[in-house]
């Protein structure tokens, strides 16, 4: 009997301090904060709503799919542009090579059978070994004449030297605008070109100090001046030797 009363008393004390009644739909909880403050709350079980996470955020949330698509598109543009530039320059080199060979072929086709023979004769008679001053060629021992005679009417070479100079001027114009390869042209026609440049630079034309090279053959002057150092190193076909 005594023990039953103690259990009942204990139950009553517990019920006095923290009442808790449950039903099917309601939860009642009591919490004690400090010696005097009692807080009671009730309600359904807490259901945490999911945290909204954007499916577009990737890579630590620093970039979304739209940005990725833009970077991919930019990458394709850069790669495509690079490939296009490589193909363009390869095509440009191929065209320059073809143009160079065509120009050389046209130059040779324009030559008459005796043109190179006349060029060789003037090449040897105007060399330093013949004792000729610049712009002159030897016609005998101690007798010299101007190379300008070859660029006047009634020249004894049937205008071979003048015709060659005009064709070389056309080729040098193409070289100056970049439609042909200088090195290929120089290998085939280098000796003819540099010799013609020297001859034309020694022929006075017009007022004193003016030369036929500047007035009538500016492209030859431009190319030979621009590539002077390269011409000294590049190989070229030999058409004649000084004897």
Read out DSSP for 134-182? TTEEEEETTEEEEGGGGGSTT-TTTTHHHHHHHHHHHHHHHHHTTSS-H
Judge if 38 and 147 occupy the same domain. Answer: no
Judge if 104 and 217 occupy the same domain. Answer: yes
Q: What is the pLDDT of residues 163-191, one digit of tens each?
A: 999 999 999 999 999 999 999 999 999 99
Judge if 33 and 144 occupy the same domain. Answer: no
Judge if 100 and 205 occupy the same domain. Answer: yes
User: Number of folded domains in the chain?
Assistant: 2
205 domain-assigned: yes
Judge if 34 and 126 occupy the same domain. Answer: no
Judge if 113 and 225 occupy the same domain. Answer: yes
Q: What is the pTM of this model?
A: 0.64
Q: Residue 4 belongs to what H/E stretch? A: helix 2-17
Distant-in-sequence, close-in-space partners of 209: CB < 8 Å, separation ≥ 6: none
240 domain-assigned: no
Q: Taking residues 22-51, report their average pLDDT.
A: 50
- Residue 130 Rama label (left phi>0; alpha psi -120 to 50; beta): alpha
177 domain-assigned: yes
152 domain-assigned: yes
Judge if 129 and 208 occupy the same domain. Answer: yes
48 domain-assigned: no
Judge if 105 and 34 occupy the same domain. Answer: no
Mean model confidence pLDDT for the chain: 78
120 domain-assigned: yes
77 domain-assigned: no
Judge if 188 and 117 occupy the same domain. Answer: yes
pLDDT of 2 higher than 60:
no
> Taking the CA of residue 142 as centre, how many other CA atoms within 13 Å lie in the half-sphere pointing to its CB?
0
Q: What is the pLDDT of residues 112-150, one digit of tens each?
A: 989 999 999 999 999 888 788 888 998 877 788 989 999
Judge if 31 and 139 occupy the same domain. Answer: no
61 domain-assigned: no
Q: Confidence band (pLDDT; 50, 70, 90) for 7?
A: very low
Q: Which residue has the tokens 């019920």?
A: 15
Give the whole-angstrom CA distance, residue 95 versus residue 90: 9
Q: What is the pLDDT of residues 47-104, one digit of tens each?
A: 555 555 454 444 445 557 888 888 888 888 888 888 888 877 777 778 888 999 999 9
Q: In terms of residue numbers, what domain contains 156?
A: 95-233
Judge if 109 and 197 occupy the same domain. Answer: yes
Give the whole-angstrom CA distance, residue 134 versus residue 127: 9
Judge if 12 and 102 occupy the same domain. Answer: no
């Amino acid at each position: 009997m005594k023990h039953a009363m103690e259990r009942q008393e204990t139950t009553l004390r517990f019920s006095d301090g923290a009442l808790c009644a449950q039903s099917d739909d309601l939860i009642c909880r009591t919490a004690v904060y400090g010696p005097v403050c009692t807080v009671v709350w009730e309600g359904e079980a807490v259901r945490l709503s999911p945290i909204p996470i954007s499916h577009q955020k990737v890579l630590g949330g620093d970039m979304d799919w739209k940005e990725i698509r833009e970077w991919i598109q930019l990458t394709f543009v850069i790669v495509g542009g690079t490939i296009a530039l490589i193909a363009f320059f390869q095509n440009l080199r191929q065209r320059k090579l073809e143009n160079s060979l065509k120009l050389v072929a046209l130059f040779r086709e324009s030559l008459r059978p005796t043109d190179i023979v006349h060029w060789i004769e003037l090449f040897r008679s105007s060399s330093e070994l013949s004792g000729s001053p610049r712009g002159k060629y030897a016609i005998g021992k101690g007798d010299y004449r101007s190379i300008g005679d070859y660029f006047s009417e009634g020249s004894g070479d049937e205008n071979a030297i003048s015709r060659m100079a005009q064709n070389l001027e056309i080729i040098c114009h193409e070289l100056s605008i970049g439609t042909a390869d200088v090195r290929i042209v120089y290998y085939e026609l280098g000796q003819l070109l540099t010799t013609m440049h020297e001859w034309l630079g020694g022929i006075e034309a017009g007022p004193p100090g003016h030369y036929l090279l500047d007035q009538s053959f500016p492209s030859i002057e431009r190319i030979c001046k621009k590539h002077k150092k390269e011409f000294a190193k590049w190989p070229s076909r030999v058409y004649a030797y000084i004897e």
